[in-house]
Amino acid sequence: VPEEFDSTFWEERYRGRAAARAGKPNPQLVTEIGDLPPGTALDAGCGEGADAIWLASRGWQVTAADISITALRNAREQADELGSDVTDRITWMEIDLTDRAPDEERFDLVSTHYVHPVGSRDALFRRLAAAVAPGGTLLVVGHDPSDRSTGHSDTPGVHFTAQEAAALLDPGRWEVAVAETRTRNATGHGGREVTLRDSVLRARRRP
Ligand SMILES: C[S@@+](CC[C@H](N)C(=O)[O-])C[C@H]1O[C@@H](n2cnc3c(N)ncnc32)[C@H](O)[C@@H]1O
């Protein structure tokens, strides 16, 4: 991932546009996590908070972490509009996840979607995996290499397969439930409807 994808890039991106209106949760999150009983969750690279808000509204106690203070501010404003049931369940955390991660073995769910770190993505994923409690779930969603053909994710270095992410997990400690390419409908550049291709990894840390 290019060096320019640093905190300044994300700050400028979020400052330069209107805050997202009550964004929808990611469909891969809804599919993969919808049936899990709520517990503690880390949304790593939460952006403007749609996934964190969805998790909190389903009873999860969420730590929503991002490098961009503007994204966090926008996210918090949206959560506040939904009342204390949601907002009391979310802790917003400004953090560079390439530097450090929240505590090890702490979360029942660690979920990360389209975080393109400057530096080693593998190191970031390993750190996030370490934050999952025994018996907990890791959900990693990103741009599959086949998504390049949609023209939506054209930045070099942001693509990886679910199998590549799964290969980072020690099979003695992890049970991989899903490692595949999934589609997702979205509004692309110019407002046209596009079908995007995500890599989706869901794994359970053995108790
Ligand atoms: C493409 S956005 C995805 C946001 C959200 N997960 C979603 O699916 O809509 C990537 C997010 O990762 C955050 N991010 C990038 N590098 C980061 C880092 N090193 N530590 C924490 N957050 C980071 C950015 O600020 C941005 O909000």
Give the distance (Å) from ligand 1 centre to CA of residue 116. 7
Lowest mean pLDDT among 17-31, 54-68, 93-107: 17-31
pLDDT at site 182: 96
pLDDT at site 157: 84
pLDDT above 90 coverage of the chain, percent: 72
Tell which residue, 101, 87, 42, 92, has the closest CA to residue 69. 92
Output the six-digit token pair for 28.
């891969």
Asked whether 25 lines ligand 1 (CB < 6 A), one says no
Give the distance (Å) from ligand 1 centre to CA of residue 68. 8
Asked whether 72 lines ligand 1 (CB < 6 A), one says no
Give the distance (Å) from ligand 1 centre to CA of residue 199. 16
Residue 116: what residue type?
H
Q: Express each pLDDT in 29-74 by its tens digit.
A: 999 999 999 999 999 999 999 999 999 999 999 999 999 999 999 9
Better-predicted residue by pLDDT, 87 or 157: 87
Concatenating the DSSP letter of every residue in 169-193 gives S-TTTEEEEEEEEEEEEEE-GGG-E
Tell me the best of 24, 115, 147 to mutate to test the pocket of ligand 1, counting ligand atoms within 8 Å of each CB and taking the most. 115
Q: Express each pLDDT in 149-167 by its tens digit.
A: 777 777 878 999 999 999 9
Residue pair 132/103 in contact (Cβ under 8 Å)? The answer is no
pLDDT at site 37: 97
Asked whether 6 lines ligand 1 (CB < 6 A), one says no
